[in-house]
Chains A and B, each alone.
Chain A
Amino acid sequence: MPTTTTGGSRELPEETVDALQKALGTEHAAVWVYGLASAFLPAAAQPALTEGATAHRARRDATERLLRDAGATPAASAPAYLPPNPVTDAASAAAMLVSAENDTSVAWRGVLERSDDQDVRRAAVDALTASAVRAVSWRQRAGQSPAVVAFPGRP
């Protein structure tokens, strides 16, 4: 994994680059998971699925740019990801989306705690917030209560 920041236009310490790579990994996974979930969720959920997938792709691309600016090589996506639980129906697909959003939330809070760069901080709090908002509707669809956790991203 690249850890140096030489040659980039933005200097970031190693722990920030590592945290961003972790966040990028969760964004790759989220993009993949949204694709899988669409096969199990009803038509009514498709707009939210499209919105979430689009947002995660945009976040993935922005994070890759940030890493390249810092002189690092963005981590590649895996060919496939293993859902934490078997996905067999709409509820389990929604639960998989909840855990994907939880994973990105934790990773982006991790970036907040390992960065001082203000642009990185802004990107991280935006990503954390957007993820927390999307998780609400997937929790409701998965029948999970409460639909809101008090501290999104707290591991």
Chain B
Amino acid sequence: MTRAPRFDRSTAGDRPGAVGRRGVLRAGMLLPLAGAAAACSGSTEPEAPDPLIALAAQARSDVAAANGVAAAHPDLADAARLVAGVRQQHATALQQEVDRLHPPSTSATPPPAATSTAPPAAAQVGTSAARTALATALATAEQQASNLVPTLPRYRAGLVGSVAAGCAALREVLS
């Protein structure tokens, strides 16, 4: 895709006289390519956000919530720490995949951790409610991930499928 602009200039009419009917035809054929290149550079229209950004944010949010539960509920600490550890790995892998396609240097600062409110909330509820809240968050994450799987590119389908499966497995530990 990065090759397009080189052809774009020379065929689209910068060299007058060289543009006969055939030249116009060629320019017309190359236009979609030039448009695609512009979209890639992000300079014209905003791209649809990478769907993995939301999955990574949910994973970070689950890490914060699980750490809060681990601190507030000794009975749940082992399971909550396991949730935090696994979801941290999910957040890292998903963010790496986001950054691979959209290097962070060209975009703005990474989104902040979504939930600074989760740990205090966890301290105020009972153990059973905290367990339910964590399980619900994991069910949401699993659903988010598995809903994306059918339409993602192949490599991402594997990664996101494993994230969904990991969330379901974590829920089993909490049950």
Contact = CB atoms under 8 A, between A and B. Distances in A.
Interface of A: 105, 108-110, 112-116, 118, 121-122, 124-126, 128-129, 131-133, 135-137, 146-154
Contacts, number: 97
Contacts of B170: 148
A110 B151 CA distance: 16
A137 B168 CA distance: 12
B169 A148 contact: yes
A126 to B, nearest CB: 8
B161 interface: yes
Of A112, A115, A146, the most chain B CB neighbours within 10 A belong to A112
Given A125-B149, A129-B142, A151 B163 contact: yes
Interface in B120-175: 142, 146, 149-151, 154-155, 157-159, 161-166, 168-173
Of B150, B154, B173, the most chain A CB neighbours within 10 A belong to B150
B90 A112 contact: no
Nearest to A136: B172
A118 B149 CA distance: 8
A112 B166 contact: no
Could you say which interface size class chain B belongs to?
Answer: 20 to 34
22 contacts: A105-B165, A113-B154, A116-B154, A121-B157, A125-B149, A125-B164, A128-B161, A128-B165, A129-B142, A129-B164, A133-B168, A133-B172, A136-B172, A146-B82, A148-B169, A149-B166, A150-B166, A151-B89, A151-B162, A152-B162, A152-B169, A153-B158
A125 B142 CA distance: 11
A122 B169 CA distance: 18
B86 A148 contact: yes
A121 B149 CA distance: 7
A152 B82 CA distance: 15
A118 B172 contact: no
A50 to B, nearest CB: 17
A103 to B, nearest CB: 14
Given A133-B171, A150-B90, A152-B166, 15 more contacts: A105-B165, A112-B149, A114-B154, A115-B157, A125-B150, A125-B165, A128-B162, A137-B172, A148-B173, A149-B169, A151-B159, A152-B169, A153-B161, A153-B165, A154-B158
